Every structure is written in structure tokens, then in C-alpha cells.
Amino acid sequence: MTVERNKPKSVWRKIERWMVGLVMAMIAFVLEKMVLRSVRKAGKGGRSERREELHTTLTSKGGEVDLTDVP
């Protein structure tokens, strides 16, 4: 349950909330940079460019499908 208070927030409380927001923004920025760097690394390299297409469509008529036998 939320309690409403008529007392104005102190200056220290406003500074604290501003600092928490700033730190959270910095953490989000660093995480985004890490993700973008890992995506960029995964996109580079000769192996990913030469990778052949694998067909992943399997059809079955109600029996069990064993993926180890698929060429």
C-alpha cells in the first residue's frame, strides 16, 4: 500500500535519487557496450562467413525422430 505524505522531500533525498539514477545509467551504458562488443566479435572472423546453411526442417509421420542420423 502506498502512503502519501505532504512533507516535501529534502535536498539530500533529491541528491540521493539523482545519484542512484546516474549510477544506473552508467551500468546500463557499460552493459550495452559489452553486448555490442560481443556481437561485433561474433560477426567477425572467417569461420562465420564460410559457414554453410544447415537445414533444420524435419518432418515426421508420428514416429520418433533421431537428430543424430540427420546428415
Convert the pLDDT of each residue in 5-58 to its tens digit.
777 779 999 999 999 999 999 999 999 999 999 998 888 765 544 555 666 666
> What pTM value is reported for the model?
0.49
Domain ranges of the chain: 10-42
Question: Mapped to the 3 state alphabet, what secondary structure does the chain carry?
Answer: CCCCCCCCCCHHHHHHHHHHHHHHHHHHHHHHHHHHHHHHHHHCCHHHHHCCCCCCCCCCCCCCCCHHHCC
Give me the pLDDT at residue 32, please. 96
